[in-house]
Structure 1
Amino acid sequence: MLAYHISTAGSPARLIQIKAPRPGAGQILVDIKACGLNFADLLMQKGTYQDTPEAPFTLGMEIAGVVKAVGPDVTGFAVGERIAVYSGQGGLAEQGVFDADRALSLPDGIPFEQAAALQIAYGTSHMALGYRARLQPGETLLVTGAAGGVGLTAVEIGKLMGATVIAHARGADKLAVAQAAGADHLIDDSEDLRIRVKELGGADVVYDAVGGAAWTAAFRACNPEARLLPIGFASGEVPQIPANHLLVKNLDVIGFYIGGYLKFRPDVVRDSFKTLFDWYLEGKLSPHISHTLPLAQVDEGMELLRQRKSTGKVVITP
C-alpha cells in the first residue's frame, strides 16, 4: 500500500509502497478515507515534536475511515463501521492499524473529511478552553494565529462558550476567515497587539498558538487573574515566562497537550470528541477546510502548512 513514510531517523518523509499491516490484539485495521494534517507533522519530520515515534513510521495523526478487520479482544467495533481515530501516527496511508481504544464510532451525518478535521484542532481548543482554562461566558478571549488550524477552532469554540473573542492574525484575508468563525474584534499582525487588546478592555484568557513576540504582547495585555494557554510556537520561538509578573498580576499559565491525555485520562479526550460530534450534528460547528488533496499531493499539503498558506485545515484523502 502507499504510505507517507519515514524509513530512518533524520530521513525525509516519502510516499512509498510498504507492506499492508494486520491488526493485533486490541487493534483495528482501517481503510483510511481522510487524514487531517497538523503542524506537528512538520515537527515530526525534523524529529523535534515531543511525541515523535521511533523510525520507521508513517505520518498522519487523525483519521476517519471504515473498519476493514478487527484483531483479537476487540469489542464494540464491526467490519464496515465508520470510525474516527486520533491515531498519533499512521494516518497518511491507504490503510492503517490503530488501537481500538483510540477510536470512536462516526455518525453517518459527519463526512469523513470533516471528521478528520474535527479531532485534534477542535479537541485541543475544546479541552484547553473548557477543561483547563475554565473559560466563562462574558469573558474576553484573545486568540493568536486565529486563522490557523487550531486558532480558528478556538475562535469558534470560544464564541460557542459565550466569550467575547479577539482574533489576531496576519493579513485581511486571514482576519476575514476568523471573523466568519465568530470573532468579535480583529487585530492585524502589523498592529501593536498589546495596545489594541488593552483598548478593548484586556484579555481574561489567552490562547496562543504563535509564541515569540505575540506571546509577549498578549502577556502584557492580560487582566488580573487571566489564564494563558501556550498552545504552540508557530513563530519558532518558545516564550520565556517572567515568574515575577505572574505574581504581580495574579496570572495563571496553564500547560496543555492533548496527546498527553491519551496516556493518563483518555476518557477526557473521548468525551470531548463525542461533544464535538454532537455539536457538529446540531450545526454548531463548521470545520473550515481550505484544501482537500489526494495522497499523491501530500508534499504539497505539507508545504501549505510550512508556508502558512492554508487557513483552517488541510485534509488528505487516501
Structure 2
Amino acid sequence: MQAWQVHQNGEPSEVMRLAEVAPPAPGEGQVLLKVRAASVNFPDALMCRGLYQVRPPMPFAPGMEICGETADGRRVIGNPVLPYGGFAEYAVANAAGLLPAPDALDDAEASALHIAYQTGWFALHQRARLEPGETLLVHAAAGGVGSAAVQLGKAAGATVIGVVGGAEKAAVARELGCDLVVDRRAEDVIATVKEATGGRGADVVFDPVGGEAYTQSTKVVAFEGRIVIIGFASGTIPSPGLNHALVKNYSIVGLHWGLYNTKNPKLVQHCHEQLTELAARGAIKPLVSERVPLSGAATAVQKVADGVTTGRIAVVMEATA
C-alpha cells in the first residue's frame, strides 16, 4: 500500500515521504481500516516537527482523523493508532473507539467531524456550560476547530463573534453564521467587541490561539465569563495573571479533549450522538475548503502548519471520492 512516512523531524513538506509499504497488522482489540478520507489537523504538523505531546516511533504515518471502512463494509470515523496514521491507504484503529459515520456527511466531511466538533462541543457544553442567549467569542473563527465552534455556538442559541485574520477569512466566518466578524488585522479587537456588547464583553471565549489572542480575551471577557483554552496555534503559551482573573471575576478553563476517551468514554459517545443529530438537521456541517488526493497530503499538512487555510483540508482516496 501507499503511505506517507516521517523518518525525521522537520517541516512537513520536507520530512513527509510517500512510500510503498506493507499494510499494518492490527493488534489485540484493533481493526484494519480502508481509509476513505483523512482530515488534516494542526497536530499533524506539530508531530512532524516533533513538537506535539504525542511522539510516535519513527517512521510514522501522520493523520489523526479518518473516515474509514471496516472489512464488513461499515463506514466509520475514528482516530488511527500511531504509527499507522490516516495518510495511507490503510490504517489501524482501536475497535472500541470507532463511531458510525453520519449519513448526512460525505467521506471528507465525516473525516473532519470527530476531533474538531468533539473539541468544540466539550469546550462549549461540558467546560464552559454555554447558555442560550449568551455571547460567544471565537478566535480563529474560520479555522478548523474555530469553524466548528461557530456552528455549535449558533446551534446552541448563542450570539457568536468571530475573530479572524484577513478579509478572506472574514468572508468565510460570515458564511459560517457569525453575528459579528472582527478582522484583527484591520480592526481593534478589544474596542470592537466592547462596543458590540455594550461594554459587557463575551460570556464565553473559545481560544485555540494563545499569545496575543489570549491577552485580548482577558480584556473582553464578561463578568462571570469563561475563557476556554483549546490550544496555542500562535506558538506562544501565555502566562495568565491570576490576580486579573480574581479582580474581574472570570474563569480560565482548559480542555484536553483526548482525556475523555479514557476518563469518560461514554460522554464521547453521547457527544457523537448529539453531533450526528445536529448534522442530520443541517445545523452543523464541517467546512471542507479543499479536497486533495493522497499524493497531496504533505503539501496540505504544510499549508495547515503555515496557517494559510480556512476550514479543513481532507485527503480523499481516489477510489472512494
- The reply to whether residue 17 of structure 1 matches residue 20 of structure 2 is yes
Tell me which residue corresponds to 2:142: 147
Distance 1:57 1:109 in 2: 32
RMSD: 1.6
Distance 1:98 1:293 in 2: 23
Corresponding residue to 1:112 among 92, 107, 111: 107
Instruction: Count matched residues.
Output: 308
Distance 2:173 2:123 in 1: 19
Corresponding residue to 2:44 among 17, 25, 41: 41
Tell me which residue corresponds to 1:199: 195
TM-score by length of 1: 0.92
Deviations, residues 28-72 of structure 1 (Å, cap 9, x unaligned): 11110000000010101111112232333211011112112xxxx
Distance 2:235 2:73 in 1: 42
CA shift in 2, pair 1:227/1:88, >3 Å: farther
Tell me which residue corresponds to 2:76: 83
Contact 1:258/1:269 (<8 A) preserved: no
Q: Map residues 168-179 of structure 1 onto 2, 5 A cutoff.
A: 168-179=163-174
Distance 1:146 1:310 in 2: 12
SS at match of 1:57: coil
Contact 1:62/1:91 (<8 A) preserved: yes
Q: Which has the higher contact order (CA 8 A, sep 6+)?
A: 2
Task: Give the stretch that moved more between structures: 261-270 or 177-186.
Answer: 261-270
1:149 maps to amino acid: G
Gaps of 5+ in 1: 69-78
Distance 2:8 2:299 in 1: 22
Distance 1:273 1:304 in 2: 28
Tell me which residue corresponds to 1:221: 220
Tell me which residue corresponds to 1:134: 129
Task: Give the stretch that moved more between structures: 48-57 or 124-133.
Answer: 48-57
Contact 2:81/2:92 (<8 A) preserved: no
SS at match of 2:130: coil
Tell me which residue corresponds to 1:260: 259
Deviations, residues 266-288 of structure 1 (Å, cap 9, x unaligned): 22222212221221122111211
- The reply to whether residue 270 of structure 1 matches residue 263 of structure 2 is no
Tell me which residue corresponds to 2:95: 100
Tell me which residue corresponds to 1:76: none
Distance 1:126 1:237 in 2: 24
SS at match of 1:51: coil
SS at match of 2:144: coil
Q: How far does residue 88 in structure 1 lie from its aligned partner after superposition?
A: 5.8
Tell me which residue corresponds to 1:300: 299
Contact 1:87/1:102 (<8 A) preserved: no
Distance 1:195 1:177 in 2: 22
2:70 maps to amino acid: V
Corresponding residue to 1:156 among 138, 142, 151: 151
Contact 2:67/2:77 (<8 A) preserved: yes
CA shift in 2, pair 1:108/1:157, >3 Å: closer
SS at match of 2:112: helix
2:21 maps to amino acid: I
Distance 2:108 2:95 in 1: 20
Q: How far does residue 254 in structure 1 lie from its aligned partner after superposition?
A: 0.7
2:224 maps to amino acid: E
Distance 1:225 1:25 in 2: 47
